[in-house]
Amino acid sequence: MKFDQAFIIGKCEVIPIEYSIKFDGQAKQSIQPKFIEVLCYLAKHYPRVIPRDELIENVWAGNHYVGEKALTNAVWHLRQKLKEANGEQETIETIRKVGYRLLIAPDFCIEEDQSTVTNQNIHRSSRINTYYKIAFYSLISIFSIWLIILYFNTSDNFEPSIITQITKQPGSELFPSPSPDGKQVVFKWKNNQNKSNLFIKDRNNPQLAPKQLTFGDAYVGQSVWSSDGQYLYFSRKNKSENYCQVIQLKVLTHQEKAIVDCPIPGGYYYLDLSPDNNTLAFHGYHEPADNSGIYLIDLSNTDNQPVRFSCSNNCNYKERDFAFSPDGKSIAVTRRVNRFNENIFLVNLTTKESKQLTTGEEDIVGLTWHPDGTKLVYGAQRADIRKGFIVNVNSMEISNLQLEGFSYPAFSKETKELFYQQRAEKYHLASLALDNDVASSPFPVIESEFNHHYPHYSEINNQIAYVSNESGFYELWVSDEQGQNRQQLTFLQQTIRYPRWSHSGKKIAFLAPVDADKADKIYIYDLTSKNLSTVPSFHQTHNRPTWSWNDEAIISAVYEKEYVDLHHINIQTGESNRISFDGSRYGLMTSPTTLLYTSEKNGLWQKEISLTENEKSFPPFKKINSKDFKTTYSWDYSPKGVYFQQKFSKYHQLSFYSFEEKSISPLLKLPKNSIGTSTTLSKISSTNKLLFTQADSPQADIKKLSHPLLQ
């Protein structure tokens, strides 16, 4: 934060450019730069209450790991110093659970040269007639009091937000759906066995436990109320019975009615109801569309068939979440370009004309219209950190609600109360000892308040490459085998994923977005030169990179309109050769010509590749059958076999498949939510350990927010 203008607080003169303060008639005192920056920020924004997160964002560049304790320390030292000048008069006020506010109006010095405040300033002010000095400070005091009164008595002030707990059950309460009158809140409750059903909370009787609305093992999605408060609509999917349906549930009698089929593949089960209750929007799929999208069905006519609203073919994006505007004339939709880019668009329901409302977002986690129809409240996630925002649909101005964990907001239409889901996900790096005679639990390798993902170990360097979000973005880090001697290697300030050591240990490849997040590139970090470069690939979308046997090329799946398959991409020239033809997603070279890989079909496959001969001469064969091997990314090769993750209905398991014995040995059984579903596995041969990402059981609760920006 750059702020050079000097100012006076009471009897203390603050000189930012010199990082010093001066009391009337005394010599200057040097102060730590961050202390001065905190004081300058409070003075610049006087008399507003400054949230802690805002101070950390501007003074410590968003580094919460350092900023949390450093801010508390800075405020304490500033108070002690300012007391020396102003006596016992309090200068900085703490607003509990919100932030800080300056209590004395700063008097900014205006001089010909504002870069320094000289002693002449003090001498000049001492010659001012006493009468005028008293009058001057009296006017300042009156003006300050007037500002404070105005601040606390206007509708535009930044009063502290009020958060009310609605649910707090073991497990996760997801997707709040308040009734129109706000008296009841429906939510999806998922227990630690990953079973989920809909429950309803009576706010008039908070002492009563939530009442269960749906039963069984089928998957249920997000729910939405009809405007009259009689019905709920939600999706229900049962893979074992091969069906997915959108259900209408009469809340009072629990009568259910199937409305329309929904797609079994995929995980998008958002829906919404138009204000007149006549049109239901839901996720569906019908050929010849490329993929699932938003469909509309007229509920007033039982013979009507769903009509696709989303783009059908060659769209370059997928529409995921959506919400009808209160006047029913438009719909807000989220469009995902790739794993690094999803933003909100406003679409006219009649003309299909669209306007982009947000930019630079990575993952939208819920959106809802304010009942007045002028703004949208939404959750956005970047680097596994969720925050809440408001966007004005006319001016497109965006305001930060300063709430971490904020997602899937929903208004009660009559009372205009905002409910939301607060969810925090925690991931750390763990290792499992593979040669213990006694059963062992995973041991943390890198664990903190931040998240750490995708470990890959280099035997040559005895280092782990991984990503961490402690800077506010997922950046590339390395550490030793014990998780010590950590070092941040990249400062891209964007989300990167899937680091992979070259066989030589001299380079690390990873995936990150480019071109305003509309495409991605494979980056290479050179540990010798410390240089960062991109592979000159002409493909727009790639998958997890691995290395060719000689480290001269990257093996990566690429996503084209016609197909998805593995390619061999030269890191110098970008020359790309397709090396699989069966929907392959991830592969490792186990010899100069042998490729081990997974595809959209289950099972582990192997083939011999040649970049010069016809591919048909080298047909693949199945190394492990589809029944036993169902993971796409969570596996690692060793000469004797493959370590991989198995997913069962009630738990996940790490296992080893022996090539010689052609059998599976279980290594570790854990609850479903405790292993990252897309984690990499990495063997440390020297100590016979297996590295992976371990997840804490996520806690999600339903809360209600009262905030001045929502008025």
DSSP 111-165: -S-TT---HHHHHHHHTS-HHHHHHHHHHHHHHHHHHHHHHHTSTTS-PPPEEEE
pLDDT at 318 over 50: yes
pLDDT at 69 over 80: no
The average pLDDT across 291-302 equals: 91
pLDDT tier for residue 372 given thresholds of 50, 70 and 90: very high
Q: Are 233 and 246 in contact (CB under 8 A)?
A: yes
- pLDDT of the residue at 48: 87
- pLDDT of the residue at 132: 46
Q: Are 400 and 385 in contact (CB under 8 A)?
A: no
The average pLDDT across 685-704 equals: 89
Other C-beta atoms within 10 Å of 125: how many? Answer: 14
Q: Do domains 162-425+699-710 and 427-695 have the same CATH topology?
A: yes
Give SS3 for 37. helix
- pLDDT of the residue at 129: 45
Among the residue ranges 68-77, 256-265, 685-694, the one predicted with the least confidence is 68-77
- pLDDT of the residue at 437: 64
Percent of the chain with pLDDT over 90: 57
Which region holds residue 551: left if phi is over 0, alpha if psi is between -120 and 50, else beta?
left
Report d(CA 645, CA 660) in Å as an integer: 20
Q: Tens digits of per-residue pLDDT, 268-290?
A: 789 999 999 999 999 988 888 88
Cα dihedral 167, 170, 174, 178, rounded to 10, equals -20
pTM for the model: 0.73
pLDDT tier for residue 2 given thresholds of 50, 70 and 90: low
Percent of the chain with pLDDT over 70: 89
pLDDT at 125 over 70: no
| Closest by CA position to 465, among listed 585, 547, 537, 584 | 547
Q: Tens digits of per-residue pLDDT, 171-203?
A: 789 999 999 999 999 999 987 666 789 999 999
Identify the CATH class of 427-695.
mainly beta
In angstroms, what CA-CA distances link 152 with 49, 97, 627? 11, 18, 66
Give SS3 for 585. strand
- pLDDT of the residue at 113: 41
- pLDDT of the residue at 114: 37
- pLDDT of the residue at 141: 53
pLDDT at 120 over 70: no
In angstroms, what CA-CA distances link 486 with 384, 429, 476, 481, 482? 21, 13, 11, 10, 10
- pLDDT of the residue at 217: 86
- pLDDT of the residue at 1: 52
- pLDDT of the residue at 298: 94
Q: Which residues sit opposite 553 in a β-bridge? A: 570
Reading the block at residue 18, the tokens are 């010199």
Q: Tens digits of per-residue pLDDT, 498-529?
A: 999 999 999 999 999 886 667 899 999 999 99
Q: Tens digits of per-residue pLDDT, 222-262?
A: 999 999 999 999 999 988 888 999 999 999 999 999 999 99
Domain ranges of the chain: 7-152, 162-425+699-710, 427-695
Report d(CA 180, CA 182) in Å as an integer: 6
pLDDT at 325 over 90: yes
pLDDT at 436 over 60: yes
- pLDDT of the residue at 79: 86
- pLDDT of the residue at 157: 42
Q: Tens digits of per-residue pLDDT, 598-647?
A: 987 889 999 998 876 554 557 899 999 999 999 999 999 999 999 999 98
- pLDDT of the residue at 604: 96
Report d(CA 334, CA 227) in Å as an integer: 23
Among the residue ranges 67-71, 124-128, 655-659, the one predicted with the least confidence is 124-128
Among the residue ranges 117-131, 320-334, 544-558, the one predicted with the least confidence is 117-131
- pLDDT of the residue at 648: 86
pLDDT at 139 over 60: no
Look up tokens 């033809």; give the residue. Answer: 581
Report d(CA 363, CA 368) in Å as an integer: 15
pLDDT tier for residue 360 given thresholds of 50, 70 and 90: confident
Report residue 82: phi and psi, to 5°.
-70, -25
| Closest by CA position to 16, among listed 87, 108, 120 | 108
Q: State CA 368 to chain mean position distance.
A: 18
pLDDT at 124 over 50: no
Report d(CA 166, CA 495) in Å as an integer: 33
Answer CATH for 162-425+699-710 from 3.90.226.10, 2.120.10.30, 1.10.287.110, 1.10.600.10: 2.120.10.30
Highest mean pLDDT among 133-137, 153-157, 317-321, 650-654: 317-321
- Give CA angle at 275 (422, 701), nearest 5°: 10
The average pLDDT across 139-143 equals: 53
pLDDT tier for residue 154 given thresholds of 50, 70 and 90: very low
Q: What is the CATH number of domain 7-152?
A: 1.10.10.10
Q: Tens digits of per-residue pLDDT, 631-645?
A: 999 999 999 999 999
Q: Which residues contact 595 (CB under 8 A, 6 or more apart)?
A: 555, 566, 579, 580, 587, 588, 589, 606, 607, 608, 609
The average pLDDT across 543-552 equals: 97
pLDDT tier for residue 61 given thresholds of 50, 70 and 90: confident
Other C-beta atoms within 10 Å of 21: how many? Answer: 24
**For all residues of the chain together, what is the average pLDDT?**
87
Of 588 and 5, the one with more pLDDT: 588
Report d(CA 692, CA 454) in Å as an integer: 7
In angstroms, what CA-CA distances link 599 with 6, 174, 526, 585, 690? 64, 32, 30, 5, 24
Other C-beta atoms within 10 Å of 461: how many? Answer: 17
pLDDT tier for residue 83 given thresholds of 50, 70 and 90: confident
Q: State CA 601 to chain mean position distance.
A: 29
Give SS3 for 587. strand
Identity of the amino acid at 684: I
